[in-house]
Structure 1
Amino acid sequence: MGKKAVILVDMLNDFVTGALTCDRAKAIVPHLEKLVRAAREKGVYVIYANDAHIKGIDRELELWGDHAIIGTEGAEVIPELTPQEGDFVVPKRRYSGFFQTDLHLLLTELGVDTVVMTGLHAHMCVRHTTADAYYWGYRIIVPTDATDSFTKEDYEYGIQYLKDIYGAQLTTVDELIETL
């Protein structure tokens, strides 16, 4: 196995405490803090794939209303997970962190062959980012305690889909840290 990268999807103010608050998101923050800290200590890349919408333009806003608008506090990573020197931030305007972004190019240049998918939402943005990771040939690991969705049902559906359709290896943050 080659290099890994931890990808945090949409751990933004608007998804945790703002316009599209996901009350369940708060439960995964301590697990993400632990994972990101361990990844940095072990030299594993940390990459943020963040919604960064253009007000009045992006199609997602038609469905979900204004959220994560570029330049607003809502579009910033939550304070507990603030990117550090050496981390990477990839803005995205659609559900997938790969669509029309440089995420694949970045991962390729870093020599990454395995992505650890985390964040929000297992049935939407994490799912679509995972789909594209699969299409690009990355191995996929999903710590089930480091992702969630608006509802338990959406979360369970999303996680099962990632496993069944993309062959994601399901684990926990504690189990994963041992193998980083």
Structure 2
Amino acid sequence: MRRALLLIDVINDFMHPNGKNYYPGYTSVLNCIREVLELARDANWTIVHVREKHYRDHHKDYEFEKLPLHCMQDSWDIEWAEGIQVLPGEYEITKRRYSAFFETDLNLLLREKSIEQVVVVGVKTHVCVRATVQDAFGWGYRPLVIKEAVGSNHAHLHEASLEDIQRYMGQVISLDEFRALITNGSKGG
């Protein structure tokens, strides 16, 4: 099965202690994401870094009716978190809504690469991760989430989202199970 790793919002706004949306639990999530990224690189998977970015002086951005201003273009907030960088041959996708698929070219990229399964890591489990997984399922991919490599500042919503993903949309596995998947020679994208 051809797989791609999708890193969702692994940026300063969420992952750095000075970020507006930082949550202390994200430190261990980031450490797990770094390991997953290295393993996926070693397996020659397609790597897609996805980040939220909003335009300055765009007063009709619907998201800001629900949330305060965040992840503004050209800000420190949207820089990749420490230890995360886009290497040559990897891809960057910018999103303005929760799902990495909504109004982006992610689906086209994955189709061109003949990807069958997306492994999703990042934040927030109950918002952007879940929305991306739901859309991946809708487009016919087989979503897989590594539970230690996703996080939320709302534990009950994190757990409920993981349960929904497992029950209705894909698989939720542990980091140990992911290591075994990689070790067993999973084919890259």
So what's the TM-score if we normalise by structure 2?
A: 0.89
Matches within 5 A, 1:81-92: 81-92=84-95
Say whether the 8 Å CA contact 1:49–1:90 is kept in structure 2. Answer: yes
Identical columns (%) = 29
Give the count of matched residue pairs: 178
Three-state SS of the structure 1 residue aligned to 2:116 is strand
Please give the alpha-carbon distance, in whole angstroms, between the structure 2 residues aligned to 1:154 and 1:22. Answer: 14
8 Å contact 2:15–2:30 — kept in the other structure?
no
For the Cα contact (< 8 Å) 1:12–1:68, is it kept in 2?
no
Tell me the alpha carbon deviations over residues 114-139 of structure 1, each in whole angstroms, 9 at most, x when there is no partner. Answer: 00011101111001111110110001
**Secondary structure of the equivalent of 1:15?**
helix
- C-alpha spacing 1:16/1:62, structure 2 compared with 1 (3 Å): farther
Rounded to whole Å, the distance in 1 between the matches of 2:31 and 2:151 is: 13
| Contact in 2 for aligned 1:67/1:75 (Cα 8 Å) | no
CA shift digits 1:4-44 (9 cap, x unpaired): 01111111111123122222211111111111001101101
Cα RMSD for the two superposed structures: 1.3
Specify every segment of 5 or more residues in structure 1 that has no aligned partner in the other structure, as ranges: none
1:169 maps to 171
Partner Cα distance (1:165, 1:13) in 2: 31
Task: Note if contact 2:32-2:148 (Cα within 8 Å) is conserved in structure 1.
Answer: yes
Match of 2:185 in 1: none
In the aligned structure 1, how far is the partner of 2:175 from the partner of 2:79? 24
- The question of whether the paired residues in 1 share the 8 Å contact of 2:54 and 2:71 is answered with yes
Residue equivalent to 1:179: 181
AA partner of residue 91 (structure 1): T
Q: Identify unmatched segments of 5+ residues in structure 2.
A: 183-189
Q: Does the 8 Å contact 1:19/1:66 carry over to 2?
A: no
Compare the two structures and name the one with the higher helix fraction: 1
Equivalent residue runs for 1:98-137 within 5 Å: 98-137=101-140
Give the Cα separation in 2 of the matches to 1:23 and 1:63.
23
Moved more, 131-140 or 21-30: 21-30
State how 1:134-153 maps to structure 2 within 5 Å.
Answer: 134-153=137-156
How far, CA to CA, are the matches of 1:171 and 1:26 in structure 2? 20
State the alpha-carbon separation in 2 of the partners of residues 19 and 33 from structure 1.
21
TM normalised by structure 1 equals 0.94
